Structure 1
C-alpha cells in the first residue's frame, strides 16, 4: 500500500471512529454514558452537559479530520481528548482497563495511529500540500 493511500485510510478510519462514537453517545446509546456518569455520582443537568458536549466534540473532531486544515493541531486535540477520557474512565472505574471489549485499552493503538497521521503531516511541506494531495 502506498504512503498516501495508507495516510488516507488512517484519516478516514479515525474520522469514522470519532463521528460514530459521537453519534452513538448522542443518539444510539446515551444511556450507557449516563450509567457510567452515575457511577461517578454525576447526574442531572451536569450529566446532560457531559454527554452532549462529549458527543458533539467527538463529531467535531471527526469532521475536522476530514478537512485538510491544521491537521497537526487536530492530532494534538485528539490525543488530548483521548487522554482526558481515559483518565476520567480510570478514576470512575479502573475496571474499564480489564473490560473484555477493551474500551480503554483500545486507546493505545488509536493514539499510535494518530501519531502516524501527525508525523505524516510533519513530513509534508505545508497544509497546502495536504490540500493538493487530498489528505
Structure 2
C-alpha cells in the first residue's frame, strides 16, 4: 500500500471534521432535538432559553463545519473548534458527569477529535 500524502490526510481531516460538525448541528436542531432538550432540562434550562441554547449551539456547529470547508483561516477555525469542544465537554460534565461512562462515548470521543483538530492546526503551520 502506498503512503497517503500529507495533502490527502489534511483533506480527509477537513472533510471528516466538517461532516461531524454539520451533521451534529443538524441532528441537534432537526433530527433529535428532544435529546438536547432532555440534557438542558436536567440543568433546569427550559422554555425559550432552551430553544435559544439548542438552536444556537446547533447553528454554531453547522457554521464551524461550513467554515472548515472554505479553508479560510483554518488555524483560527481549529482553535475555535477546540474551544467549543472544551466548553461543551465542561458543561456536559457539570450537567451530567455520567456521560463520561456512556457506552457510546459521547464525551470521551471529544479527546481524539481534539487530537485530529490539533493535527490539522499543526499541518497548517504556514498560516497565521
TM tier relative to shorter chain:
over 0.9
Structure 2 residue 12 is the aligned partner of structure 1 residue 34 = no
Q: Aligned residue pairs: how many? A: 125
CA contact (8 A) 2:73 2:127 kept: no
SS in 2 for 1:103: coil
Runs (4+) of structure 1 exceeding 6 A deviation are none
Shift of 1:126: 4.1
Shift of 1:68: 1.6
Structure 2 residue 100 is the aligned partner of structure 1 residue 94 = no
Deviations 1:46-89 (A, max 9, x none): 00000000000000000000012110000000000000000000
Unaligned 5+ runs, structure 1: 128-135
**2:109 aligned to which of 106, 109, 125:** 106
CA contact (8 A) 2:99 2:106 kept: yes
Structure 2 residue 25 is the aligned partner of structure 1 residue 5 = no
Structure 2 residue 79 is the aligned partner of structure 1 residue 76 = yes
Shift of 1:37: 0.4
> What is the TM-score of this pair, normalised by structure 2?
0.95
**1:60 aligned to which of 63, 70, 91:** 63
Q: Aligned-residue CA RMSD in angstroms? A: 0.9
Shift of 1:8: 0.3
